[in-house]
Amino acid sequence: MTRLTVLGATGSIGRSVAKVLMAHPGRFQVEALAGGRDVAALAQMARTLQARFAAIADPDAGPELASALAGTGIASGAGPSAVLEAAARETDMVVSAIVGVAGLAPSVAALGAGRRMALANKECLVAAGRFFMDEAGRKGTELLPMDSEHNAIFQALSAAPASAVERMTLTASGGPFRNRSREEMRHATRQDALKHPNWSMGDKITIDSATLMNKGLELIEAHHLFAVPAQKLDAVVHPESVIHGLVSFTDGAVVAGMAMPDMCVPIAHCLAYPDRLPLPARRLDLVELGRLTFEAVDEERFPAFALARMAMEAGGSAPTVLNAANEIAVAAFLQGRLGFYGISDVVAGTLEGMNVATAPASVEEALAVDAEARRMASGLLLSVSA
Ligand code: NAD
Ligand code: MG
């Protein structure tokens, strides 16, 4: 029996984790669940999965959560400290699936000796990658990538020693605007951008997939997770989303990680690692698919991708700033306060305006840079065209 804690339990990843758990009764014991604001969803999940502890980040939601769990014996807490408490509780594995840099402090609190972390939250590696990897090493926590591309690469890496790796390639679906002109994208609305062709995900990552910022964030994620230099990493557009990641080795051999696009597949891999769970996921049928296609990333139409790649190459706190500005810009776009290309304009302007020489060496340092970048990005929202 594996004891499991899920941070970001009520989100898209959290719900898929719950689905996999419910398909394997008796194999996992849910220690703690943490969510942001949705008390009813968190309470219901805690009851269904028989969690021991439930934490809601909203500091005012404590009484409501306690009454929703009355009579169940499930303990609960509210506010950021309760989320940290959930993260730190004794367990075997923690799924890190809070969205955004909000996941950084809870993920760091969840690092501990002899446990594993399945990492879906990429923003903590973008905002504080070097510190996060060092801290995981110091604490003795094994990281398992839950992001589908990194999960595919992680599996491909078992084919040869790290010294034989020549390149790593992440695939991108291309999102809803893969075939749209710049002019069409300029007028894209929230509804247009939220229509992802292959994946159903939370709003923030769905917008990141439309700008291709998501693929840029994932390059930075891979850079830290696999300790691979920026110049050995690239991305290719692959609209079918069947190949998720590839590793090229020094002898010319390439190992690709493939599966039909379904987050339950990398989730199950992490939850059972190094075992495998039987899953009724859709099977890959190459003949039915007929062909798989590939295109280069168009950095003219998708400047957010280029910005992220440049931030990775620049290092220091450039990725921290990029991530913070992007979170502000995406939230403004979702509220109809910013145009589609305003997102990359705000990110570029924030990067230009800040000193990014030093990589954050603690959660506090990362959050201080994050807060400053958010202030600057918020100021730019007013000057960038809506
Ligand atoms: P989501 O918006 O659907 O869910 C986010 C979760 O975080 C919710 O449970 C929300 O309540 C919680 N949350 C937000 N702020 C919080 C806070 N301050 N404290 C505690 N909980 C908080 O997002 P998602 O699509 O599930 O994505 C989660 C993470 O996983 C993101 O970093 C995303 O990039 C990554 N990811 C998602 C997918 C996917 O298919 N959805 C795939 C790969 C990676
Ligand atoms: Mg991904």
Ligand 1 contacts CB of residue 83 (under 6 A): yes
Rg (CA), the chain: 20
Question: What is the C-alpha to C-alpha distance for residues 343 and 328, in angstroms, rounded to an integer?
Answer: 9
Q: Whose CA is nearest to atom 40 of ligand 1?
A: 201
Question: What is the C-alpha to C-alpha distance for residues 242 and 237, in angstroms, rounded to an integer?
Answer: 11
Ligand 1 contacts CB of residue 121 (under 6 A): yes
**Minimum-distance ligand to the CA of 54?**
1
Distance 219 CA to ligand 2 centre (A): 10
Is 315-386 a domain of CATH 1.10.1040.10? no
Question: How high is the pLDDT of residue 82?
Answer: 98
Q: How many CB atoms are located within 10 Å of the residue 163 CB?
A: 7
56 bridge partner residues: 35, 78
Residue 187 · residue 256 · CB < 8 Å: no
Question: How high is the pLDDT of residue 166?
Answer: 98
Joined tokens for residue 101: 């840099």
Question: How high is the pLDDT of residue 362?
Answer: 98
Question: What is the C-alpha to C-alpha distance for residues 273 and 85, in angstroms, rounded to an integer?
Answer: 25
Ligand 1 contacts CB of residue 13 (under 6 A): yes
Distance 125 CA to ligand 1 centre (A): 14
For each of the chain's 386 residues, which pLDDT tens digit applies? 999 999 999 999 999 999 999 999 999 999 999 999 999 999 999 999 999 999 999 999 999 999 999 999 999 999 999 999 999 999 999 999 999 999 999 999 999 999 999 999 999 999 999 999 999 999 999 999 999 999 999 999 999 999 999 999 999 999 999 999 999 999 999 999 999 988 899 999 999 999 999 999 999 999 999 999 999 999 999 999 999 999 999 999 999 999 999 999 999 999 999 999 999 999 999 999 999 999 999 999 999 999 999 999 999 999 999 999 999 999 999 999 999 999 999 999 999 999 999 999 999 999 999 999 999 999 999 888 55
Task: Give the E-state strand segments of 52-189 in sequence order.
Answer: 53-56, 75-78, 93-96, 116-119, 142-145, 165-172
Environment class of residue 101 by beta-carbon count within 10 Å: exposed (0-12), middle (13-18) or buried (19+)? buried
Report CA-CA distances (Å) from 344 to 180, 184, 228, 306: 17, 16, 26, 10
Distance 29 CA to ligand 2 centre (A): 27
Environment class of residue 57 by beta-carbon count within 10 Å: exposed (0-12), middle (13-18) or buried (19+)? buried
Residue 328 · residue 93 · CB < 8 Å: no
Question: How high is the pLDDT of residue 23?
Answer: 97
Q: Which of 43, 22, 1, 24 is nearest to 9 (CA)?
A: 43
Question: How high is the pLDDT of residue 384?
Answer: 82
Helices within 145-258 (DSSP H only): 148-157, 182-186, 190-193, 203-211, 213-225
Question: What is the C-alpha to C-alpha distance for residues 381 and 375, in angstroms, rounded to an integer?
Answer: 10
Question: How high is the pLDDT of residue 385?
Answer: 58
Distance 59 CA to ligand 2 centre (A): 31
Query: Residues with beta carbon < 5 A to ion ligand 2?
Result: 147-149
CATH number corresponding to 2-145: 3.40.50.720
Domain extent listing, the chain: 2-145, 147-261+281-313, 315-386
Give the global pTM. Answer: 0.98
Ligand 1 contacts CB of residue 79 (under 6 A): no
Half-sphere exposure of 28 (CA within 13 A, CB side): 28
Give the three-class secondary structure for 153: helix
What would the pLDDT profile of 269-304 be if each residue is shown by its tens digit?
999 999 999 999 999 999 999 999 999 999 999 999
| Ligand 1 atom at minimum distance from 217 CA | 34
Question: What is the C-alpha to C-alpha distance for residues 91 and 72, in angstroms, rounded to an integer?
Answer: 21
